[in-house]
């Protein structure tokens, strides 16, 4: 049976993504993991077959730790992606009024997605950041009637809280892209595919423009570019790029071969079926 790890505990958006991934697939053993690094390292060691982890959110941006671990600490490939609409809910103990809340418990990503709501509607409430939204719900439940939590409806169910407001995120276009990472090499191309790489350029003017021109030369569409500090050097960056297409396309293969020649550090992160927005 396939062993899948996800960023736990139960009652998080990532658990929803993992269940969604398994839908209509073979039976699997789902494991809630304590953090993203442990999830990816367990797959690298072979203790797990696959990891389901959040990759980027349309309001709050990329999940830094995922990018850093994929670049520096493991040699895993992205084999699939899922895009889920995220509805942030405000939950309180049964019977309590949300207007009376003086403490809010939630994960930093969820807090980031609901900044305007918090500033506008709960300016008096003290924000307690927790390691997951499920943990936030657990702490709010313990703290009692003056406490609220922000997160998925599933967390309210799990900890006996009551959802009082739905869709409190700052923008209705709230989607999170989750990726599935494993040791296996990429599968056969689907109808539409995405390919992810990470690289660092030579430290001279124009080197990033040169890389992007390579994609233009082969008519390849870039769908994402994200920079991260390069191992702690301020002013030096590594770049994560997503492009349309599969490594088995001759154009993608040739363009990436050229990019490998023009970069100091280069890592192929996988070709995988492009998700439709759910």
Nearest approach, Cβ of 177 to a second copy (angstroms)? 6
40 touches 51 (CB < 8 A): yes
Task: Give the x-and-dash track for 259-278 against a second copy (CB under 8 A).
Answer: ------------------x-
Span interacting with a second copy, options 18-26, 55-63, 93-101, 247-255, rule CB under 8 A: 55-63
Count the site residues for a second copy by CB under 8 A. Answer: 54
**Beta-carbon contacts of residue 52 (< 8 Å; ≥ 6 apart):** 4, 5, 6, 7, 14, 17, 18, 21, 82, 178, 179, 180
Options 3, 187, 228, 253; binder of a second copy; rule CB under 8 A: 228
CA–CA distance, 24 with 269 (Å, rounded to integer): 26
75, 45 Cβ separation under 8 angstroms: no
Residues 188-217 interacting with a second copy (rule: CB under 8 A): 205-206, 208-209, 212-213, 215-216
| Of residues 232-261, those binding a second copy (CB under 8 A) | 232-235, 237
The pair phi, psi for residue 176, each rounded to 5°, is -120, 135
Q: Select the span of 129-137, 145-153, 156-164, 256-264 touching a second copy (CB under 8 A).
A: 129-137
Among 44, 93, 130, 133, binds a second copy (CB under 8 A): 130
- Of 240, 276, 260, residue with least CA distance to 71: 240
The two tokens of residue 69 are 């671990």
Could you tell me which stretch among 6-14, 93-101, 166-174, 255-263 binds a second copy (CB under 8 A)? 166-174
Q: What does 155-206 look like in DSSP terms, one character per residue?
A: HHHHHT-EEEE---SS-S--EEEEEEEESSPP----SSEEEEEEEEE-SSTT
Pick the closer one to a second copy by CB: 15 or 106.
Answer: 106
Query: Which segment (9-17, 50-58, 151-159, 264-272) binds a second copy by CB under 8 A?
Result: 50-58
Give yes or no for a contact between 66 and 53, defined as CB atoms under 8 angstroms apart: yes
Shortest separation between residue 169's beta carbon and a second copy, angstroms: 8
What is the maximum alpha-carbon separation in the chain? 63
Does 80 sit near a second copy (CB under 8 A)? Answer: no
Task: Name the residues that contact a second copy, by CB under 8 A.
Answer: 37-38, 56-61, 64-65, 83, 108, 112, 115, 119, 126-131, 170-175, 177, 205-206, 208-209, 212-213, 215-216, 219-229, 231-235, 237, 277
């Amino acid at each position: 049976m396939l062993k899948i790890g996800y960023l736990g505990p139960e009652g998080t958006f990532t658990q929803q993504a993992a269940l969604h991934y398994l839908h209509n697939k073979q039976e699997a053993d789902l494991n809630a993991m304590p953090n993203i690094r442990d999830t990816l390292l367990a797959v690298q060691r072979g203790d797990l077959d696959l990891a389901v982890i959040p990759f980027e959110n349309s309001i709050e941006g990329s999940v830094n730790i995922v990018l850093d671990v994929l670049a520096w600490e493991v040699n895993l490939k992205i084999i699939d992606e899922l895009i889920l609409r995220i509805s942030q809910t405000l939950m309180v103990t049964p019977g309590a009024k949300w207007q009376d809340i003086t403490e809010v418990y939630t994960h930093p990503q969820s807090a980031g997605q609901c900044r305007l709501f918090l500033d506008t509607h709960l300016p008096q409430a003290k924000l307690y950041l927790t390691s997951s939204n499920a943990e936030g719900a657990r702490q709010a439940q313990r703290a009692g009637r003056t406490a609220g939590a922000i997160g998925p409806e599933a967390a309210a169910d799990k900890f006996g809280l009551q959802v009082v407001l739905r869709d409190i995120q700052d923008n209705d276009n709230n989607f999170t892209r989750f990726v599935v990472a494993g040791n296996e090499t990429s599968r056969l191309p689907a109808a539409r595919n995405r390919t992810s790489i990470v690289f660092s350029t030579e430290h001279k003017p124009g080197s990033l423009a040169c890389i992007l021109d390579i994609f233009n030369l082969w008519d390849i569409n870039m769908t994402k570019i994200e920079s991260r500090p390069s191992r702690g050097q301020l002013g030096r960056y590594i770049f994560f790029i997503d492009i349309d297409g599969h490594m088995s396309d001759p154009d993608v293969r040739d363009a990436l071969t050229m990019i490998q020649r023009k970069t100091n550090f280069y890592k192929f992160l996988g070709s995988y079926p492009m998700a439709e927005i759910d």
